[in-house]
Amino acid sequence: MDFELKSLSPIQAASQVCDALLVLVPDASPDKRATGALPELVASVIRQGDLDSGVGKQLSCYRPVGFKSARVQLVRAGDGSAASVRKAVLAGVASLKQPGVKKLGLVLSLFGAGADAVRAAVQACAEASYVYTTTKPSAKARILQQVVVGVGQASAVRAGFDAGRALVTGVEFAKEWANRPANHATPAMLADAARKLGRQRNIKTEVLGPKQVEALGMGSFLAVARGSAEPLRFIVMQYSGGAKGSAPVVLVGKGITFDTGGISLKPAPEMDEMKFDMGGAASVLGTFAALAELQPAINVVGLIPSCENMPDGLAVKPGDVVTSMSGQTIEILNTDAEGRLILCDALTYAARFKPHSVIDIATLTGACVIALGGVRSGLFSTRDDLAQALYKAGEAAQDPCWRMPLDDEYAEGLKSSFADMGNVAGRAGGAITAAKFLQKFTAELPWAHLDIAGTAWKSGAAKGSTGRPVPLLLQYLLDQAAAGKARPAAAGAKKPRKTARG
């Protein structure tokens, strides 16, 4: 999609030439002294009671007097906040999904739309019009191709517009790869996608295969990959936008391109959705796609351990003991708890970058879906400052998370009679015990874990990837770049806290 930002007053908006005009109308009373086709139309419909208050309420107008656009859609935008604007634009664009609407004028100048509202509007336009077509030739491709965003003063909201446009690139990149069936998104194919991103400015990509991973001693990662005919890939990406030598933020994305559960086989219903089990990897790729467009002043590393979890004769068995890259041994009590087994080796590898922070992103546990549903991602961290920064970024990006506890007592169930630890600890507190497992491989790293099992995709009639948490991750990186907070990992370390709130 093409987006254009213009300074466009309410009077000028009526002269905008496009297939449809989507006008966001705030709840605040219109200026009765304002003249021009648009202000007069808005004042008239409100006076007549034809446009109810309430975010998302709409009125369609066809060929109203004084407008060059045949279709004019008035949509209530409440208080004009980013959340209200997002909801209003989603509703308005959905109503304008018509064959003739290829160019849309989006008018935000009836209220003082800030940078956050503009970013939300751009994202919502893309979200409401997104169509997956890669393996579905019968699908009608996205009709809406161009959006002109009209605001009071373009220069005042340029940063929000640019961030929104980059987010569209990143989120749709993540959606594309997460939505693809597993035979169209193998570990090798993910690696190829990362290599293409590596051609962008300031991005470098390296891909390691089975022999290189074995040489690193990643026995836990190798164990998961054993049962598949598809060879594993360990993807290492580096975005170098910050000062040379400044500590990078490391993003670690779980890249299980299909999860059968292995020998601990999953039930058949909804197993097709396990193609989404690489949602963490997709979010890292999407974040790098957005970084390539925005070019912020920060260093970022992306690590993606990728493989399939399959149940053939070579597959790891319940009770097997493997040795991780850290040297710690793991008794694999459940082969369907495989995400943590590939992430633990990637987390050990992350330490070599002497990171500012390490954030792993994974569709890790059904328990997190039970705890938080599909609204908030689960956030676990050993650092209060990192947890607070991620929480704040999620709120700002409308991609929220919620902090969960990491009390030491939750790790009791991971004890094993035959290894340094087991990979599961029973059903109770499953999302927390999975995080406690990962914590064992982070040592003194400033580490956070995002469990996105409930937020990475939707089921049912709206089945598909959400592209989350690309907005949260990008906002966090932009916040760090703006604050210039890159520093050695050991600085200002804090003890883990035991409370549940973020």
Residue 481 main-chain phi, psi, to 5 deg: -65, -40
CATH 3.40.220.10 domain span(s) along the chain: 2-152
Give tens-digit pLDDT for 254-286.
999 999 999 999 999 999 999 999 999 999 999
Cα–Cα distance, 14 to 365 (Å, whole number): 51
Q: Which of 57, 102, 266, 354 is catalytic?
A: 266
**Residue 502: what pLDDT?**
29
Q: Distance between CA 442 and CA 105 in Å, rounded?
A: 49
Share in percent of the chain as helix, strand, coil (round to 5): 40, 20, 40
**CA atoms within 13 A of residue 14's CA, in its CB half-sphere:** 16
Cα 182 to Cα 184: distance, rounded to the nearest angstrom: 5
Instruction: Kindly tell me the sign of the dihedral angle through the C-alpha atoms of 487, 492, 497, 499.
Output: negative
3-class DSSP state for residue 217?
coil
For residue 493, pLDDT over 70 is answered with: no
Owner of token pair 């991620």? 390
**Confidence at residue 494, expressed as pLDDT on a 0 to 100 scale:** 40
- Residue holding tokens 């961030």? 163
71 an active-site residue? no
Distances (CA, A) of 48 to 43, 261, 325: 9, 60, 70
493 HSE (CA, 13 A, CB side): 11
Provide, rounded to the nearest whole percent, the portion of the chain with pLDDT above 90.
93
3-class SS of residue 214: helix
pLDDT category of residue 446 using cuts at 50, 70 and 90: very high
What is the predicted pLDDT for the residue at 361? 98
Is the per-residue pLDDT at 211 higher than 50? yes
Give the pLDDT of residue 28. 85
Is the CATH number 3.90.1300.10 carried by domain 182-483?
A: no
Instruction: Write the pLDDT tens digit of every residue in 370-411.
Output: 999 999 999 999 999 999 999 999 999 999 999 999 999 999
Side chain identity at 431, as an amino acid letter? Answer: A
| Number of residues written out for the chain | 502
Q: Name, in order, each residue with C-beta under 8 angstroms of 445's C-beta and a sequence gap of 6 or more.
A: 347, 350, 351, 355, 358, 489
Q: Is 318 exposed, middle or buried (0-12, 13-18, 19+ CB in 10 A)?
A: middle
CATH 3.40.630.10 occupies which residues in the chain? 182-483
Q: Chain-centre distance of CA 56, in angstroms?
A: 24
Asked if residue 469 has a cis previous peptide bond (ω within 30° of 0), the answer is yes
The mean of the pLDDT values for the chain is: 94
pLDDT given at position 57: 96
Which residues make Cβ contacts (< 8 Å) with residue 416, sequence separation at least 6? Answer: 331, 333, 422
Share of the chain above pLDDT 70, in %: 96
Helix (H) or strand (E) holding 257: strand 255-259
In this structure, the number of other CB atoms found within 10 A of the CB of residue 488 comes to: 11
- Catalytic residue (choose from 175, 254, 340, 383): 340
Q: Are strands 58-62 and 71-76 parallel, antiparallel or unpaired?
A: antiparallel
So what's the pLDDT on residue 149? 98
The model's pTM is 0.94
Pairing of β 255-259 and β 249-253: unpaired
Say whether 266 is catalytic: yes
Q: What is the arithmetic mean of pLDDT over 22-46?
A: 88
Say what the pLDDT of residue 35 is. 81
Token representation of residue 198: 């590596």
**pLDDT, greater one: 254 or 34:** 254
| Residue 22, pLDDT above cutoff 60 | yes
Among 205, 336, 283, 211, residue whose Cα is nearest residue 457: 283
Domain 2-152's class? alpha beta
- Amino acid present at 337: A
Does residue 486 surpass a pLDDT of 80?
Answer: no
- H or E segment and range at residue 73: strand 71-76
